[in-house]
């Protein structure tokens, strides 16, 4: 008998939690369901799930509050489910420590991919396993060489500046996960530079012109409008 990952779904809509349960169970996860924030609290502590799928719009407690208090004692991955009307909550949720978000309505494939990425990231820590062993990140013809501080496209140096390299390197380490503007800025230039993401945007525009075939049809670094950037999953 194999041991399966246990996923806690926090969702008050019965039809949505039913459909989530069905796809997750058929993809070999154990599923438990909480229908309110209070129930979620007690299930997190008693069941110790491997991942939480959290709907931000709960009847009793603000979903953001749950993220905040869970993050006080555990790094257990949280994937947030948000409606389009809660755009700002999305960024807030990520900045509070949620691992990823998915916007309603979503397909089964998308959700499963997010869950796999989130679980893997928590298992292997921030640094991707391949990066830790080989010092390299590869996706298609993009290669980040962490030892030489270089980004290669089709084997040749893309000629990134230092700041540009730092951005790509950071995104590569968290490949598959969306990083908010604030997070990237803080990681790169320290906590004092909050609020101005214009220069980050300009750096990104330059990076895209160096590594993407067509900057408006990116293959490697995707924009999540109003939220941040996401590097494609490595090979």
Partner 1 sequence: MNKSNHIKSGNSAVRALRNWAISLLVLGVAWLLCSSLKKLSSSDVYVPMIFVLAVLIISLLTDGYFYGVLASIVSVIGVNYAFTYPYMKLDFSIYGYPTTFMTMLAVSLVISTLTTRVREQEKLRHETAQAQLKANLLRAISHDLRTPLTSIIGSIDTVIAEDGHLNGSERAELLGDAKKDAEWLVRMVENLLSITRISGAEETVISKSPELIEEIIGECVSNFKKRHPDVNLKVLIPDEPLTVDVDAMLIEQVLMNLMDNAVYHSETMTELSIEASVGEGFARIAVSDDGVGLDPDIIPELFKGQIGASKGHPCDGNKFRGIGLAVCSAIISAHGGSITAANRPEGGAVFEFTIPMEDSLQ
Residue closer to partner 1 by CB (options 102, 204) is 204
Q: Does 15 bind partner 1 (CB under 8 A)?
A: no
* CA 54 to chain CA centroid, nearest Å: 14
Please select the residue that binds partner 1; options are 12, 30, 87, 95, rule is CB under 8 A.
Answer: 87
> What is the full DSSP assignment across 63-110?
HHHHHHHHHTT----EEEEE-GGGHHHHHHHHHHT--EEEESS--HHH
Indicate whether 163 belongs to the interface with partner 1 (CB under 8 A): no
Give yes or no for residue 214 binding partner 1 (CB under 8 A).
Answer: yes
- Please select the residue that binds partner 1; options are 84, 133, 156, 195, rule is CB under 8 A: 84
Give the integer Cα–Cα distance in Å for 176 and 114.
8
Among 59, 105, 192, 195, interactor with partner 1 by CB under 8 A = 105
Whose Cβ is closer to partner 1: residue 154's or residue 217's?
217
Q: Does 73 bind partner 1 (CB under 8 A)?
A: no
Residue 26 engages partner 1 in binding (rule: CB under 8 A): no
Selected binder of partner 1 within 85, 133, 156, 162 (CB under 8 A): 85
From the list 45, 59, 70, the residue with the least C-alpha distance to 14 is 59
Decide if 49 contacts 7 (C-beta within 8 A). yes
Q: Three-class SS of residue 56?
A: coil
CB 18 within 8 A of CB 6: no
Site string for partner 1, 178-207 (x = CB under 8 A): --------------------x--xx-xxx-
- Using the minimum distance from each CB to partner 1, give the nearer residue, 3 or 225: 225
DSSP per-residue codes, 100-126: EEEESS--HHHHHHHHHHHHHHHHH-S
Q: What are the tokens at 123?
A: 């298992």
Interatomic CA distance for residues 183 and 188, integer angstroms? 9
- Pick from 86, 121, 173, 208 the residue near partner 1 by CB under 8 A: 208
- Does 145 bind partner 1 (CB under 8 A)? Our answer is no
Which spans of this chain sit near partner 1 (rule: CB under 8 A)?
84-85, 87, 105, 198, 201-202, 204-206, 208-209, 214-218, 222-226
């Amino acid at each position: 008998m194999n041991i399966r990952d246990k996923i806690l779904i926090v969702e008050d809509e019965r039809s949505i939690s039913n459909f989530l349960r069905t796809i997750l169970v058929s993809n070999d996860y154990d599923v438990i369901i909480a229908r309110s924030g209070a129930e979620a609290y007690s299930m997190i502590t008693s069941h110790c799930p491997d991942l939480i799928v959290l709907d931000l719009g709960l009847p009793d407690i603000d979903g953001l509050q749950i993220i905040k208090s869970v993050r006080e004692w555990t790094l257990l991955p949280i994937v947030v489910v948000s409606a389009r009307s809660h755009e700002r909550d999305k960024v807030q949720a990520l900045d509070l420590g949620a691992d990823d978000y998915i916007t309603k309505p979503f397909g089964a494939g998308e959700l499963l991919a997010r869950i796999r990425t989130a679980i893997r990231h928590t298992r292997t820590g921030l640094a991707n396993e391949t990066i830790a062993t080989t010092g390299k990140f590869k996706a298609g013809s993009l290669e980040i060489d962490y030892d030489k501080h270089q980004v290669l496209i089709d084997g040749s140096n893309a000629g990134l500046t230092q700041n540009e390299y730092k951005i790509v390197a950071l995104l590569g380490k968290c490949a598959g996960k969306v990083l908010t503007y604030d997070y990237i800025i803080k990681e790169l230039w320290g906590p004092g530079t909050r609020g101005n993401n214009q220069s980050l945007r300009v750096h990104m525009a330059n990076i895209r012109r160096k590594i993407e075939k067509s900057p408006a049809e990116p293959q490697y670094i995707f924009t999540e409008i109003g939220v941040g950037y996401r590097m494609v999953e490595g090979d």
